[in-house]
């Protein structure tokens, strides 16, 4: 198992550009989520999904879109990047049916918006 | 409210010192509790967990006991090493119809030789 994979590892954008952060998992997990991590702020939940075709907002959804067309993939889209979106982004996944609550994290994407 | 509160850092210790990082949570039932660790430049990885009251999770010399009477899950290690330098996150498992985990803000630990 590759676990949770994220691409790219690093990205620099200019204000107003758009991009998609990729996340995939090969563990057949129903639940997937995106967090951002900023100094002194801990992890903040952006969006999450409990299964293919179902997404919902977390604490800080503004400026981000998600979709879940397959169980494996959960891309995060920045429609018009802003400097306030400079952060480290983590994708995570876990089972929701009959099993451990353990959440598995990807290695992160470090995004800088100039 | 729906929260996990852990002690503010940063924490700086000398090698072989005793470590405690406090964590308390709010819950209406008995959700699973977790400690995650984040080494520099990496994602979070599970350090230990406990799934019911009075359970003790342990791994790599770290321990935490699920205390429902005090709603706490404090992380302890008897003798820290330089390699334990990392950020530690306490988390509460999903409950009440929500599938979300709730994380504390993290505590940065630095261990000096």
- The predicted-structure confidence for A8-43, as pLDDT tens digits, reads as follows 999 999 999 999 999 999 999 999 999 999 987 789
What's the rounded mean pLDDT across residues B61-77?
Answer: 96
| Cα separations in angstroms, B47 against A59, B41, B61, B75, B87 | 25, 17, 10, 10, 11
- Evaluate if residue B63 carries a pLDDT over 90: yes
Give the pLDDT score at A114.
Answer: 96
Give the minimum alpha-carbon distance from A14 to chain B in angstroms, rounded to a whole number: 23
Helix or strand holding residue B48 (H, E): strand B44-50
Give the pLDDT score at B94.
Answer: 84
Residue A42 pairs in a beta bridge with A38
What's the rounded mean pLDDT across residues B72-83?
Answer: 97
| Contact predicate A78/A85, CB 8 Å | yes
What's the rounded mean pLDDT across residues B37-61?
Answer: 94
Question: Residue A84: what are its φ and ψ, rounded to 5°?
Answer: -65, -10
Q: Is A32 exposed, middle or buried (0-12, 13-18, 19+ CB in 10 A)?
A: buried
Q: A27, A103, A104: which to substitute to probe chain B, counting the most B Cβ within 10 Å?
A: A103
The 3-state DSSP class for residue B75 equals strand
The candidate with the shortest Cα–Cα distance to A94, out of B93, B64, B49, is B93
The candidate with the shortest Cα–Cα distance to A77, out of A31, A28, A111, A43, is A111
| Model confidence pLDDT, tens digit, residues A68-108 | 999 999 999 999 999 999 999 999 999 887 666 789 999 99
**Where are the extended beta strands (E) located within chain A?**
4-7, 10-13, 19-25, 31-38, 42-51, 54-57, 64-66, 76-78, 87-94, 104-105, 109-113
Give the pLDDT score at A104.
Answer: 94
Binned at pLDDT 50, 70 and 90, residue B1 comes out as low
Pairing relationship of beta strands A42-51 and A54-57 according to DSSP bridges: antiparallel
- Evaluate if residue B15 carries a pLDDT over 90: yes
Distance (Å, whole) CA A72 – CA A68: 8
Give the pLDDT score at B29.
Answer: 83
Residues in chain B with CB shorter than 8 Å from the CB of A104 are 46
Give the pLDDT score at A41.
Answer: 76
Residues in chain B with CB shorter than 8 Å from the CB of A45 are 100
* Average confidence score pLDDT of chain B: 93
Distance (Å, whole) CA B79 – CA A26: 37
- Evaluate if residue A112 carries a pLDDT over 90: yes
Distance (Å, whole) CA A39 – CA A37: 7
Residues in chain B with CB shorter than 8 Å from the CB of A106 are 43
The 3-state DSSP class for residue B56 equals strand
Residues in chain A with CB shorter than 8 Å from the CB of B32 are 101
Q: B27, B29, B37, B44: which to substitute to probe chain A, counting the most A Cβ within 10 Å?
A: B44
């Amino acid at each position: 198992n590759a676990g949770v994979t994220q691409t790219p590892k690093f990205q620099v954008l200019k204000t107003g550009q758009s991009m998609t952060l990729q996340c995939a998992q090969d563990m057949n997990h129903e639940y997937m989520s995106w967090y951002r991590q900023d100094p002194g702020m801990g992890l903040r939940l952006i969006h999450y999904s409990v299964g293919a075709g179902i997404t919902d907002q977390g604490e800080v959804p503004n400026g981000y879109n998600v979709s879940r067309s397959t169980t494996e993939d959960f891309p995060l889209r920045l429609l018009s990047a802003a400097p306030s979106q400079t952060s480290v982004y983590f994708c995570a996944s876990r089972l929701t049916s009959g099993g451990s609550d353990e959440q598995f994290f990807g290695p992160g994407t470090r995004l800088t918006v100039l | 409210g729906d929260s996990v509160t852990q002690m503010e850092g940063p924490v700086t210790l000398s090698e072989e010192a005793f470590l405690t990082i406090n964590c308390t949570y709010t819950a209406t039932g008995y959700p699973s509790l977790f400690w995650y660790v984040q080494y520099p430049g990496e994602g979070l990885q599970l350090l230990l967990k406990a799934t019911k009251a009075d359970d003790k999770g342990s791994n790599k010399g770290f321990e935490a006991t699920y205390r429902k009477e005090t709603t706490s899950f404090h992380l302890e290690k008897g003798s820290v090493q330089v390699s334990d330098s990392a950020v530690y996150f306490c988390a509460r498992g999903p409950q009440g119809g929500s599938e979300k985990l709730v994380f504390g803000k993290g505590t940065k630990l630095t261990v000096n030789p």
